């Protein structure tokens, strides 16, 4: 597995990481625990070193899973997790809270769940409009000084927030959605973090599964699957967006690759400091995704893809309104 550095931080990770959320949260019932542990350890054996989790995934259960799975190989991996929520009286409702006191409590709890004495990369999961980002960055700076955290990250933050945070505590990585069907970061975010020397970790690099070609307008999701409330996954949007997937599949066929591999290879070709974190629950999909690191798209390939993106507009909003309000702050 090739390695990449996240910006100027010196943090080196595998060119493709693993998003662990879907093993516990968001895409239907949780994966059997032993199967999930086996998958995580198989990823390590295949050269993956960046593993992404969060307190909110479960909540808490994904961190526990990642901690148990990676404890025997802790010295070989980089663990990223996130703070920024409490979970209401029912233990599930997400309530933004990035007060310094809550950050420190959250980190202590995450360390225990992850079975480690240090978090390699700690993200603010969503910007809290009630807490100045300078206070957030300052709290993480103290945790770094104490040796409980190594690197500071932001998730889905806007460019002014990134700049203000970075002035207090250098930001190692920004995590946001970026893929062939969500390219908004190209307008402001990517130029800003390139200027500041911050790495980029795209989640949902396969469009929450749509870019694999395995989902169509007739696909039925489990009742607990997050995609049921995403406008881009409404049946009419899927029907309209199928044209993009079909063209991607044609390009993949020409390269003797899969649509998923081309989608990930396209991300890797954008900048050398981009490290996508596709998620999966299946070993064969993990292995398929990792092959993308070996695919070098030619200038002709990139032109063909750009032509497709320029002629087939993606239909449907990325998030329902209440979740969209939390991003880009």
57 classed as catalytic = yes
Residue in the structure block whose two tokens are 């239907």: 28
Alpha helices for 46-120 (secondary structure H):
61-70, 100-113
Cα 14 from chain centroid (whole Å): 14
CA-CA distances (angstroms) from residue 89 to 86, 92, 94, 96, 130? 9, 8, 10, 14, 20
Cis peptide upstream of residue 274 (ω within 30 degrees of 0): no
Q: How far apart are CA 304 and CA 32, in angstroms?
A: 40
List CB contacts of 105: < 8 A, sequence separation 6 or more.
none
Question: Which residue among the candidates 27, 57, 60, 123 is catalytic per the annotation?
Answer: 57
**Cα–Cα distances in Å, from 77 out to 11, 184, 329?**
11, 30, 31
Known catalytic residues? Answer: 57
């Amino acid at each position: 597995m090739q390695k990449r550095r996240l910006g100027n931080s010196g943090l080196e990770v595998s060119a493709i990481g693993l998003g662990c959320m879907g093993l516990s949260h968001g895409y239907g019932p949780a994966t059997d625990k032993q199967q999930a542990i086996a998958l995580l350890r198989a990823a390590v054996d295949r050269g993956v070193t960046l593993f992404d989790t969060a307190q909110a995934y479960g909540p808490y259960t994904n961190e526990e899973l990642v901690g148990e799975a990676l404890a025997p190989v802790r010295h070989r991996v980089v663990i990223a997790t996130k703070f920024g929520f409490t979970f209401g009286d029912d233990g599930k409702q997400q309530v933004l809270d990035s007060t310094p006191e809550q950050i420190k409590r959250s980190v202590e709890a995450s360390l225990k769940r992850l079975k480690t004495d240090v978090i390699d990369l700690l993200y603010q999961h969503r910007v809290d409009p009630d807490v100045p980002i300078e206070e957030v960055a300052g709290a993480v700076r103290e945790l770094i000084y104490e040796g409980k955290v190594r690197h500071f990250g932001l998730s889905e933050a806007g460019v002014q927030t990134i700049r203000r945070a970075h002035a207090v505590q250098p930001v190692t990585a920004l995590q946001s959605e970026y893929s062939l069907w969500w390219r908004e970061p190209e307008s402001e975010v990517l130029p800003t973090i390139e200027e500041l020397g911050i790495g980029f970790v795209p989640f949902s690099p396969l469009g929450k599964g749509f870019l694999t070609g395995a989902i169509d307008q007739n696909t039925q999701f489990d009742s607990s699957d997050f995609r049921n409330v995403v406008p881009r996954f409404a049946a009419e949007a899927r029907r309209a967006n199928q044209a993009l997937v079909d063209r991607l599949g044609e390009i993949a066929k020409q390269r003797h690759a899969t649509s998923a591999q081309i989608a990930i290879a396209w991300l890797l070709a954008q900048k050398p400091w981009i490290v996508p974190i596709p998620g999966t629950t299946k070993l064969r999909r993990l292995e398929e995704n990792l092959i993308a690191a070996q695919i070098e798209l030619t200038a002709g390939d990139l032109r063909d893809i750009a032509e497709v993106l320029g002629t087939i507009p993606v239909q449907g909003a990325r998030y329902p309104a209440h979740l969209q309000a939390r991003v880009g702050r």
